[in-house]
Amino acid sequence: MATHQRQPYSGTKRKLVIAIDVGTTFSGVSYALLDPGLVPQIQPVTQFVGQSEPRGDSKVPSIIYYRQDGTVAAAGAGTDPETNPELAEMDDVIRVEW
């Protein structure tokens, strides 16, 4: 089995790379700071807005609630009625998943 070693970043300026994995059930985000001459270290995002505490699996539900005018009312962890009780009181929202 071949292994792949990350090489040092060959660019001349620091950059931020963000990777978003939108899944059918859960979504996750990772990032890496690219510093010239250093091997990039991929870091997971371990807490999102609406989560009560960091999760080891670094995932949030792939769910969005839209208002009738098309604006987002809640997304990801913010769609949990336990952490966002105001959502249950909104009668003009559409739940979107899958």
The pLDDT tens digits of the residues spanning 32-56 come to 999 999 999 999 988 877 676 766 6
Inside any domain, residue 5: no
Residue 88's domain spans which residues? 15-97
CB 51 within 8 A of CB 29: no
Inside any domain, residue 49: yes
- Provide the number of structural domains found in the chain: 1
pLDDT at 31 > cutoff 60: yes
Inside any domain, residue 3: no
Residue with the larger pLDDT of the pair 51 and 81: 81
What average pLDDT does the chain have? 87
Inside any domain, residue 48: yes
Q: Are strands 63-67 and 59-61 parallel, antiparallel or unpaired?
A: unpaired
pLDDT at 69 > cutoff 70: yes
User: Mean of the pLDDT values across residues 44-70?
Assistant: 81
Instruction: State the DSSP string of 56-92.
Output: TT-EEE-EEEEETTS-EEEEGGGG-TTT-THHHH-SS
Q: Which residues contact 94 (CB under 8 A, 6 or more apart)?
A: 65, 66, 67, 68
**Predicted local distance difference test score (pLDDT) of residue 83:** 78
Inside any domain, residue 9: no
Inside any domain, residue 2: no
